[in-house]
Amino acid sequence: MLRTVLGDVDPAEMGITLPHEHVLCDSSAWFSEPTDPEGALLADAEPTLENLWWMRQHPNSNRFLLYLDDVDIAVRELDAYARLGGRTVVDLSCVGLGGQPEQLAVVSRRTGLNLVLGSGFYVDASLSDDIRAASVEQLAEHIIRDLTEGVGGTGIRAGVIGEIGMSHPLTPVEERSLRAAARASLETGAAISVHTAAHAVEMDSALRAADILGEEGADLSRVIMGHMDTTLHRPDYHRRVLDLGCYVEFDLFGHELFESENDFICPGDYAKTKAVSRLVAEGYESQILLSHDCCFKIQLRTWGGYGYAHLLQNILPRFVLEGVPESVVLQMMTENPARVLPLQQ
């Protein structure tokens, strides 16, 4: 069954699915104080037509952008996705990303969408000292409790493990978090979604994650390696991860960023579409997932972004032009999520 914030549903009801999004979240752990005079003036500004160019290149340097916290806006933004046939959204706002299970349930009721909440631990920089000091067993118990009893005493259960954070280099608590995710997956049957280190200097983060998860006995065919868009220049790396049985997730559609202070590069949608099309031509279409990872206000239509409907409205036709039939794109957005995301015992 697929475990949503409103209860378990048959996977046949998943339909078109976005497997890596944030509906309500707090990304403030990523805030980076601007050092240039212009940036200092914009660190607390709200988006305008005059400053949107700067915010799109430095979203982590503006505090206002790092919170998705308005239920009415969330409902309006998701309605655009639902009108195009979208049925399910996975919100991977786990510990460190300020997940709001009760509010997410409200959004689910108002939109009629299946919303799935993630459990686990994000990157080290977002975690409290208590979590950094916890053992693998304690971290695993936390995840299992979220999946079986409910998050934070709300009674609203998580349905997937993730996004499990990785930095560069991997920190001790992040390694323990990965091991805990594997143990919780074996106990609950939940899939694991990994936030691979999205830096140009870090090439093999997904392979490192696979090694750790495999050491704990995790089924790698139940593992999703996220943010693989940042390594489009390494197609062999993608193939190595796919050949392990993992899902490779291109979840940054709509992002086009370069942050020199963080050594972070996100290629544009054209490059992403080309890379996915090549992997489809090589026969990997059953292991590819597509999403947007909406986590900044400026990714939403309310503030001039593409929103949650971008793949369906704008990217699907591009795939067709690249020679990928619409039916194959929809397979990657329906059959693939329905295979990996439901709980399996």
pLDDT, tens digit (0-9, with 9 covering 90-100), for 246-289 = 999 999 999 876 555 555 678 899 999 999 999 999 999 999 99
Q: What pLDDT is stored for residue 205 in this prediction?
A: 94
Percentage of the chain beyond pLDDT 70 is 96
Q: What pLDDT is stored for residue 199 in this prediction?
A: 65
Counting other chains too, the contacts that 59-65 makes at CB distance below 8 Å and 24 or more residues apart are 59/257, 59/296, 59/298, 60/27, 60/30, 60/31, 60/32, 60/259, 60/262, 61/31, 61/32, 61/33, 61/34, 63/28, 63/31, 64/297, 65/296, 65/297, 65/298
What is the spatial distance between Cα 27 and Cα 24, in angstroms, rounded to a whole number?
10
What is the spatial distance between Cα 326 and Cα 344, in angstroms, rounded to a whole number?
29
Average pLDDT on 56-65 reads: 93
Q: What pLDDT is stored for residue 238 in this prediction?
A: 96
Q: Is the pTM of this model over 0.85?
A: yes
Average pLDDT on 8-19 reads: 98
pLDDT at 69 over 80: yes
Asked if 345 and 189 count as a contact pair (C-beta separation under 8 A), the reply is yes
Residue 203's pLDDT band, with cuts at 50, 70 and 90, is low
Q: What pLDDT is stored for residue 84 in this prediction?
A: 98
Q: Which of 64, 86, 68 is nearest to 15 (CA)?
A: 86
Mean pLDDT for the chain overall: 95
Asked if 177 and 139 count as a contact pair (C-beta separation under 8 A), the reply is yes
Q: What pLDDT is stored for residue 36 in this prediction?
A: 86
pLDDT at 180 over 60: yes
pLDDT at 76 over 80: yes
Q: What pLDDT is stored for residue 198 in this prediction?
A: 73
Q: What pLDDT is stored for residue 278 in this prediction?
A: 97
Percentage of the chain beyond pLDDT 90 is 90
311, two tokens: 């793949």
Q: What pLDDT is stored for residue 95 in this prediction?
A: 98
Q: What is the pLDDT of residues 212-225, one digit of tens each?
A: 999 999 999 999 99
**Sign for the pseudo-dihedral over CA of 182, 143, 72, 337:** positive
Average pLDDT on 28-52 reads: 93
Average pLDDT on 320-340 reads: 98
Average pLDDT on 80-106 reads: 98
Helix, strand, or coil (residue 163): strand
pLDDT at 143 over 80: yes
80, two tokens: 């655009």
Average pLDDT on 197-202 reads: 66
Q: What pLDDT is stored for residue 200 in this prediction?
A: 55
- Residue that wins the pLDDT comparison between 203 and 323: 323
Q: What pLDDT is stored for residue 311 in this prediction?
A: 98
Contacts of 61 (CB under 8 A, 6+ apart): 31, 32, 33, 34, 39, 42, 43
